[in-house]
Amino acid sequence: MTDSSPLTTCGDQWIQLPQGRIFARRWCASESAQGSPIVLLHDSLGCVELWREFPRALSQATGRDVVAYDRLGFGRSDPRTGRPSLHFIQEEAHHVFPALCERLGIDRFVVLGHSVGGGMAVHCAAHLPERCEAVVTLAAQAFLEDRTTHGVREAGEQFSAPQQMERLARYHGDKAPWVLDAWTGCWLHPDFAQWSLLDVLPRVRCPILAIHGANDEYGSRRHPELIGEYAGAGARVEILPEVGHLPHREAPDAVLARVTELLRS
């Protein structure tokens, strides 16, 4: 029998869910942390380790606990077989995220997602409106445009070089080929071309902060603009100059300042 009591320990944790075993890490601000924890959702090739120093800095800046986890098939979490369905963004928010929060003892939360994790964050807020206090998206896609598919296709071709796949394997081990195929296979599938967040955003009842790099190679500024236009409770849009697809790495101070301001307000 699996222990169903909530896990609140700081540090590394493995959580058994029906879908498989999930790896998570928690950074604790202090014994007197104020506010609900911030849950991070990684990008299409990401994992806990690839957040690097950002979660610790975010915890220190906001005074809140920060939690990140590897989605099934990524990082240290269990492998999965077969390519995800084309509804994988919604499915993560509806089936995995709530169960993970329950096991981690998280009731109310702030959710922050990078790239596709931003789309998942929007779905989490729409699915759990009474529990989500705020959403932060970093370089999130709101729909598919030519820049998005071109960037995915070009990046996928670069991974034909052995050294590139070796880099991916440092973080995902034997799951690296699956991780790459899950990304390119879903995003370039013809039936995924009509995907967007436009029908989900109006259902979000909490504030949204949409941060986007002016030089993002996977999406124009139209993505955060649409988030701002369609968000049910309003959204603040921040375009960071001379920043690409990794705002939290390229301009961490600017990101931390804006997230802290959102949560203090």
Q: In this structure, what CATH number is given to the domain that contains residue 166?
A: 3.40.50.1820
167: CB partners within 8 A, 6+ apart: none
One-letter identity of residue 134: A
**Crossing angle of helices 146-158/176-187, nearest 10°?**
150
In the block, which residue shows the tokens 């998570």? 24
Domain containing 103 equals 11-264
Q: How many domains does the chain have?
A: 1
Inside any domain, residue 1: no
Residue 6 placed within a domain: no
**pLDDT tens series, the chain, 265 aa:** 345 556 566 899 999 999 899 999 999 987 666 799 999 999 999 999 999 999 999 999 999 999 999 999 999 999 998 999 999 999 999 999 999 999 999 999 999 999 999 999 999 999 999 999 999 999 999 999 999 999 999 999 999 888 999 999 999 999 999 999 999 999 999 999 999 999 999 999 999 999 999 999 999 999 999 999 999 998 999 999 999 999 999 999 999 999 999 999 8
To the nearest whole percent, how much of the chain has pLDDT over 70? Answer: 95
DSSP 179: H
Residue 89 lies in a domain: yes
The pLDDT mean for the chain works out to 94
d(CA 3, CA 115): 33
pLDDT at 10: 84
| Sheet strands (E) in the chain | 11-17, 20-27, 38-41, 66-69, 109-114, 132-138, 208-213, 235-240
Residue 4 lies in a domain: no
What is the DSSP annotation of 92-157?
Answer: IIIIIHHHHHHHTT--SEEEEEETHHHHHHHHHHHHSTTTEEEEEEES--SB--HHHHHHHHHHHH
Give dist(CA 222, CA 92) in Å, integer: 25
Predicted local confidence at residue 33, as pLDDT: 67
- 221 in any annotated domain: yes
Task: Please report the pLDDT score of residue 2 as a whole number.
Answer: 44
Whole-angstrom distance, CA of residue 142 vs CA of residue 129:
19
Tokens 């409770």 belong to 233
Within 139-263, strands assigned E span 208-213, 235-240
What pLDDT does 116 receive? 98
Q: Which residue has the tokens 């075993």?
A: 21
For residue 52, being part of any structural domain is answered with yes
Which of 69, 76, 62 lies closest to 39, judged by CA? 69
